[in-house]
Structure 1
Amino acid sequence: MKRLLIIEDDQGLAAILSRRMARHGFECQLSHDASDALLTARHFQPSHILLDMKLAKDNGLNLIVPLRNLLPKTMMVLLTGYASIATAVEAMRLGANNYLAKPVDTHTLLAALDVNKDAMQGETKSDEQDDLPLNPKRLEWEHIQQVLSANQGNVSETARQLGMHRRTLQRKLLKKPVSSLSN
């Protein structure tokens, strides 16, 4: 059996990921902070690791080397809501096998974890509903929400970081797009 350690501080997302991966034959363990992650990894000996880049006040990048030293053959995927080329390069340099931006669907996650296609054949209709791709406007809205949250709701600072006018940002915040591709 494949063993997956999910290191994610968002407990709701961690539970969803665990359920989805369990449907594909993974035995899952959850860790919600950096200090617990290494201990759990040592005891659980996972074959695969999903590591969130932002763990409360910690940075998941700092866990890659110790996890890689502890489990050199483990398939490690870094997940982030703050994707950038610089962090992707850094994650790979430190030893991550793959790097994915949130939100991520099950197919993409399984591919990143290097799971064979036979495991992907067993999906149910509910999996397909969970995995509807997000439209570009919804992805933009989600990204804006993450940046806004990181700025503790400061709209002016968020607009500056996103390179847009404050009023444009306010208009975009008022329009929450639907999550599927249908427009």
Structure 2
Amino acid sequence: MSEEKQTDLGPDPSLLLVDDDAIFVNRLSRAMEKRGFRPVVTTSVADALAEVKSAPAAYAVIDLRLEDGSGLDVVEALHEARPDARAIVLTGYGAIATAVAAVKMGATDYLSKPADANDIVLALLQTGETLPPPPENPMSADRIKWEHIQRVYEQCDRNVSETARRLHMHRRTLQRILAKRSPK
């Protein structure tokens, strides 16, 4: 998260950061503070909803999957409390269906992890119909495939046979993939 830039945030630079990865969210908070935002960090849906109720932020970066629920609930509550708020959904498990749901609930963009502070600022401040520029270092297709397999594997309680069945793969092929290191 390098190359800090001071940005024009308007009269209210409040920023709600919601992510259950404490290391990531604290690093992001410091980086966003250097760019002029006033971040408030929460690590759960319950804390985020309480923060939205007491002081809805002008900007928000919300992780999709949290330990106690879905970040989409926070997006919806923020949009109801402050319709002019600009929220982006940030997730390691991108899917078209959740991206559409996030936008319908009031999110202005949807980014896949790993996204750096510059990508997040661009998404938060993007206005009009033009698309933001593509990320400098997007995940490779191999990495996205590997992340998806890992997610399904975890959702199946690390059961290789069940994961293989759900992914329509041969069990031995899946075992070979799981034995390898993650691609860069």
What is the deviation of 1:146? 2.3
Q: Is the aligned partner of 1:105 residue 2:116?
A: yes
2:170 to 152, 165, 173: 165
What is the deviation of 1:115? 5.9
Structure 1, unmatched stretches of 5+, are 117-130
Q: 1:33 to 1:69 in 2, by over 3 A?
A: same
1:114-125 alignment, distance < 5 Å: 114=125
2:45 to 18, 23, 34: 34
Structure 2, unmatched stretches of 5+, are 1-8, 128-135
Question: Counterparts of 2:157 and 2:118 in 1: how far apart (Å)?
Answer: 33
Counterpart amino acid of residue 153 in structure 2: L
The number of residue pairs the alignment matches comes to 165
More helix by share: 1
Q: 1:24 to 1:165 in 2, by over 3 A?
A: farther
Counterpart amino acid of residue 146 in structure 1: R
Q: 1:107 to 1:172 in 2, by over 3 A?
A: farther
| Identical-residue share of aligned pairs (%) | 39
CA displacement 1:43-91 (0-9 Å, x = unmatched)? 4442211111212131222222221111211101112233222111111
2:46 alignment partner, SS class: helix
Runs of 4+ in 1 over 6 A off after TM superposition: none
Q: 1:172 to 1:22 in 2, by over 3 A?
A: farther
Counterpart amino acid of residue 46 in structure 1: A
**TM-score, normalised on structure 1?**
0.77
**TM-score, normalised on structure 2?**
0.76
Q: Say what the alpha-carbon RMSD is for the aligned residues.
A: 2.4
